[in-house]
Structure 1
C-alpha cells in the first residue's frame, strides 16, 4: 500500500495487517507451491474473503489455479467466503485478459459465493484499490 516491495515466492505463509479507509484487514499470504497447498485448510476457519492472485502472463498454470480455486470453494469452512480474483501483471505484453481468465477459471459458474475479478498491476498499484473497494462494499452489505 503506497510502497513497492520486491518479493519472492512465499515459502509457507506471511501475515500482514493493512489499514485502509479505517478498516483493518488481516491478510494471510499463503505460498502456492504444490507442497504447501495441502496446508491451506488450516487457515480457512472464519475466512470472509479469498483473494486469489493470478499471474496473467502464466498461460500454463491457469488450469492449476482453477483446480485449486474450485477445491477451496468446496470446503465447508469457506462456504460463506467471497472471492476477489486479482488478474495481476496486466502490464505484460501477451498476458491473458480479465475475460480470458474469468473463462479459464469458470467464474460464471460460481453461484454460492459472491465474486469479483479485478485487473491489476501490483508494481504500479493499478487496480489494487478497486479490489479492496469491492471488499469494503461487500462488508457494508453484510451489516
Structure 2
C-alpha cells in the first residue's frame, strides 16, 4: 500500500514539463518535425514568424517544444526563448552545404549563452531522403561536435517528412532527463 502511494506521488511530481527549443536556419524542417512529433503526420507549413509551441508527451515525459523561426532577421531574438531551456534541438538541412557555416556560428553562439549552459543538444540531420545529402557523420565533423565538452549532445539522421529517426532523437532526450 505504501509503495503504491509513493508511486502515485512520484509520478505526480515527475510529470513536470521539460522546455525544448527547436532552432535552425529557415527551411531546415523545424515546424515539420514539431508537427510530426505532435500528430505523426506531415503538415503543410509556411515560414514561422515568431514561434509555435506544442506539448509533446513521450512515455509520461512532458516536453514543451518551442519551434522558433529561423530566418536571418529572427535569429537575433532566439535568446529571448533561452530561459529554463533543458534541451536544444538543432535542425540541420542536410542538403544545404552553403549555409552550414552559418548553422555552426549560430550553434556556438547559443552554447556560449549563460541561460543554455546546462542544456543538452540534439542535432537532427534532416532531409536524409534527399539525393546528395551530407551524412550525420559529415555534419558532425563540419560542426566540430566532438569539441563540445560542456553540453551533452547527440546527432541523429532523420527525415521529417516520413518521421524516420525522430523517435530515436526523442528517446535520447528522455534518457537525459535527471542525468545532469
TM superposition score normalised by structure 1: 0.96
* Structure ranking higher on relative contact order (CA contacts 8 Å, 6+ apart): 2
1:71 aligns with 2:109: yes
Which runs of structure 2 are paired with 1:1-143 in the superposition (5 Å)? 1=37, 2-142=40-180
Q: Secondary structure at the match of 2:98?
A: coil
TM superposition score normalised by structure 2: 0.77
Structure with the higher fraction of residues in helix conformation = 2
User: 2-side partners of 1:54 and 1:39: how far apart?
Assistant: 19
User: 2-side partners of 1:134 and 1:8: how far apart?
Assistant: 29
More deviation in 2-11 or 79-88?
Answer: 2-11
Q: CA deviation at 1:140?
A: 4.4
Q: CA deviation at 1:76?
A: 0.5
Aligned length: 142
User: 2-side partners of 1:51 and 1:9: how far apart?
Assistant: 18
Q: Which has the larger radius of gyration?
A: 2
For structure 1, which runs of at least 5 residues remain unmatched after alignment?
A: none
User: 1-side partners of 2:140 and 2:161: how far apart?
Assistant: 22
Q: Secondary structure at the match of 1:11?
A: coil
User: 1-side partners of 2:48 and 2:42: how far apart?
Assistant: 16
For structure 2, which runs of at least 5 residues remain unmatched after alignment?
A: 1-36
User: 1-side partners of 2:179 and 2:138: how far apart?
Assistant: 29
